[in-house]
Amino acid sequence: MLIYYITPMPNFYATTPIYYVNDRPHIGHAYTTVLTDVLTRYHKLFGFDAFFMTGVDEHGQKVQKVAAARGISPQEHVDEYSEHFRNLWPKLNIDYGYFIRTTDAHHKKFVQDSLQHLFDKGEIYSKEYSGWYSVGEERFFDENELIDGKDPISGRAVEWINEKNYFFKMSNYQQRLIDCINENPSWILPEFRKNEVLGFLKKPLNDLCISRPKSRLSWGIPLPFDQDFVTYVWVDALENYISGVQNKKYKDGSPLWPADFHIIGKDILTTHCIYWPTIIMAMGWELPKHILAHGWWLIDGSKMSKTSGTGVNPMDYIENYGVDVFRYYLIREMVVGLDATFSHDSFVRRINSDLANDLGNGLNRIHKLTLTNFDGKIPACAEHGEQEKELENLCQKAIDFTKKNISEAKLSLIAEEILNPIKALNRYLEATAPWKLAKSTEQKDKDKLATVLYAGAEVLRIALALLSPVIPQKAEQGRLMLGLPEFSEESLKFGLLKGGEVLGKGEALFPRIQEET
Ligand code: MSP
C-alpha cells in the first residue's frame, strides 16, 4: 500500500501597530508597514500560508482633541482619517490581509468581553489614583520616570490628575513575565531591547490603570461593568491583534493567533512587552511568538513624525522616484533595530549604486546581448566552468542567507547579501566581455557567449526572486523582461533554465537619478 505524506504548509501571521488617526501617515508608519509587508512576502515566497494585519487606533484623547479642534465628531474625524491610511497602502505596494479599525463593532465587543472576564476573575479593581498623565503618550508616568518634569518619551508637558479608576493587577504577573523572557531568548528582538525590558522589570511593576472617566474622555469603549468609564486606549488597541483575526483561519483550518511577529517601533516597547503579555497571561491566551522593535527614522538628529513638524511625506518619494525604489531604500538603509537617518543624498546614492548600477545594468546587458545574439531567446548553457560555479555559489549563499535570517527579520543584511551575486555578475561580464565574444567567429567564443548569457540570466532570475518581496513590481517586470518562469520556493536553485525562454520587451527598470550629490 502506498502512503502519501503531505508536508503541512507552515503558517505565518504578523502585525503592524495600529496607527493613530490624529494626523496623516508619515515615513514612520510607512516604514513599519513596509517592513511587515516584506517579511510576510518572504514567508509567502518560502511556501508559508502568510498573512499580515494592519489598521488604525481610533479611540483616545488625542483623537477627541483633534476632532474637537476641527469642530466635528470623533467618528467623522476617524472615518475621514482612517482612509488616509487605507489609501496609502496600495500606493506603497502593501499587500495586507486585513485592515482593522478599533471602532469596528466586533472589536469593541471583543474588548468588552475580555474586560468583563478579567473583572469576573478578580483581576480588575477600582481605587482613587493620582499621577502624571501625558496626553501625547495616552498614559500615566511615575514621578521618577519623568525627565525634567516632562513626558520622558515625547518631552512634552504632563498634567497631574487625581481620579477614581480601574486597575488591572499587572504586578501579579511580573515574575512570570521575567521567566518567560529568560526562557525564550528570541521572544523580544533585537537582543538589546530584550535587555531593556528586563532592566525595566528589575523595579517592582505597578498595576495598570485601564480606565478613563467619561467626564474627561468620552471617546472610548465603555467598561462593561461601569458605564461611567471608558477603556484606556492601549488596552483597547493591543487587543486588536486577536480581535481582528478571531474569525479567520489558515488554509489548514488552524486559527491565526498566536501571531508569529508583532512588528513595532522602539517607542512602544513597554506597552507591547509588558502590558500586552501580562493581559494575555491573565486572559489565559497564548503569547505572540516574537516582538520585534525597530528604530526610528531620524532627520537632523530628531524623530521624523507627524508631531515634530519635520515629516517627510512618503508620497513625495513614491511619486518622484517610484514605489519599489522607495521600499528598497527603507529596507536596505535601516538595520532593523537601530535608528537610521533619512536623507535625500543617501537616497540618491543608494538607488544609483544598488539598483541603477548593479541590478539595472546587469539586467539591461543580459537582455540586450541575448536579444541581438540569440534572437531574443535565452541560450542553453554550453559549459558550466569555474567562473559560472562561483556565480552559482554566490546565488546559493544568498538563498541560504535569506532563509536563515528571515526568522529574525534581518532585512537590510539580506538585501546586501542578495546584491553580491549581482555585483559578481557585472564583474563577470567585464571579465568575459560578451560584447567582444559576439564579434568572434570561433566556436569556442560562441559557446562562451551562450554560457555567459545563460549564467547571467540565472543570476538575475534568482536575485529578482529573492528581491521580489522588497521590490515586487520591479521584480515582476524584470522577470517578464527576461522571459523567466514565475518565482517560487522550488525555483530558488541555479541552473533550472532550460534555454529557449523567450525574452519580453526591454525596459530601463532602474533609471539613474541624475541629481548628483
Ligand atoms: N496607536 C499606537 C500603536 C498601537 S498598537 C496596538 C501608536 N501609533 S503611532 O501612529 O503613533 O505610531 C505607530 C508606529 O509608527 C510606531 O511603531 C512608531 O514607532 C512608528 N514611528 C513613528 N515615527 C517613527 C519614525 N520616525 N521612524 C520609524 N518609526 C516611527 O503608537
Average pLDDT of 120-140? 89
Task: Place 140 in a pLDDT band, splitting at 50, 70 and 90.
Answer: confident
What per-residue confidence (pLDDT) applies to 9?
80
- The sheet with strand 159-168 has its strands ordered as 139-141, 124-134, 159-168, 208-209
* Spatial distance between the Cα atoms of 261 and 44, rounded to a whole number of angstroms: 15
Identify the residue whose cell numbers are 531567446: 377
Identify the residue whose cell numbers are 493620582: 130
**Is pLDDT of 216 > 90?**
no
Residue 11's nearest CA partner among 36, 44, 38 is 44
Distance 428 CA to ligand 1 centre (A): 44
Distance 117 CA to ligand 1 centre (A): 29
| pLDDT, tens only, 378-398 | 999 989 999 999 999 999 999
Q: Report which protein residue has its CA nearest ligand 1's atom 8.
A: 19
Distance 339 CA to ligand 1 centre (A): 14
Average pLDDT of 209-238? 95
What per-residue confidence (pLDDT) applies to 419?
98
CA angle in degrees (0–180, nearest 5) for 98-114-60: 65
| β-strand pairing of 49-57 with 11-20 | parallel
Neighbouring-strand partners of residue 211: 231
pTM assigned to the model:
0.93
Residue ranges lining ligand 1, Cβ < 6 Å: 17-20, 28-29, 31-32, 57, 237-238, 240, 264-265, 267-268, 296-297, 303-305
Residue 334's nearest CA partner among 310, 309, 304 is 304
Task: Place 315 in a pLDDT band, splitting at 50, 70 and 90.
Answer: low
| pLDDT, tens only, 244-298 | 999 999 999 999 999 999 999 999 999 999 999 999 999 999 999 999 999 999 8
Burial of 225 (0-12, 13-18, 19+ CB in 10 A): middle
What per-residue confidence (pLDDT) applies to 24?
83
Average pLDDT of 29-34? 96
Judged by average pLDDT, the poorest of 310-319, 393-402, 428-437 is 310-319
* Spatial distance between the Cα atoms of 456 and 210, rounded to a whole number of angstroms: 60
Contact 328, 354 (CB under 8 A): yes
**Is pLDDT of 308 > 50?**
no
362's grid cell: 546587469
Distance 30 CA to ligand 1 centre (A): 10
> Which atom of ligand 1 is found nearest the CA of 29?
15
What per-residue confidence (pLDDT) applies to 8?
67
Contact 248, 261 (CB under 8 A): no
Neighbouring-strand partners of residue 157: 150
Average pLDDT of 145-164? 90
Neighbouring-strand partners of residue 104: none
**Is pLDDT of 4 > 60?**
no
Q: Report which protein residue has its CA nearest ligand 1's atom 22.
A: 28
Task: Place 139 in a pLDDT band, splitting at 50, 70 and 90.
Answer: confident
Pocket of ligand 1, candidates 296, 334, 342: which has the most ligand atoms within 8 Å of its Cβ, to mutate? 296
**Is pLDDT of 490 > 70?**
yes
What lies within 8 Å, CB to CB, of 37 at 6+ separation is 52, 92, 93, 94, 95, 96, 469
- HSE of 368 in the Cβ direction (CA atoms, 13 Å)? 11
Distance 29 CA to ligand 1 centre (A): 6
62's grid cell: 488625542
Distance 136 CA to ligand 1 centre (A): 12
Pocket of ligand 1, candidates 58, 138, 267, 280: which has the most ligand atoms within 8 Å of its Cβ, to mutate? 267
What per-residue confidence (pLDDT) applies to 309?
52
**Is pLDDT of 1 > 50?**
no
Task: Place 221 in a pLDDT band, splitting at 50, 70 and 90.
Answer: very high
Neighbouring-strand partners of residue 191: none
Q: In whole angstroms, what separates CA 310 from the centre of its chain? A: 22
CA angle in degrees (0–180, nearest 5) for 241-243-247: 115
* Spatial distance between the Cα atoms of 179 and 201, rounded to a whole number of angstroms: 11
**Is pLDDT of 508 > 80?**
yes
What lies within 8 Å, CB to CB, of 212 at 6+ separation is 61, 165, 220, 229, 230, 231, 232
Contact 208, 174 (CB under 8 A): no
Q: How many CB atoms lie within 10 A of CB 384?
A: 15
- Peptide linkage before 190 cis (omega within 30 of 0): yes
What per-residue confidence (pLDDT) applies to 305?
63
Pocket of ligand 1, candidates 20, 300, 308: which has the most ligand atoms within 8 Å of its Cβ, to mutate? 20
What percent of the chain clears pLDDT 70, i.e. is strictly above it? 96
- The sheet with strand 222-223 has its strands ordered as 211-213, 226-231, 222-223
What per-residue confidence (pLDDT) applies to 316?
84
- HSE of 254 in the Cβ direction (CA atoms, 13 Å)? 13
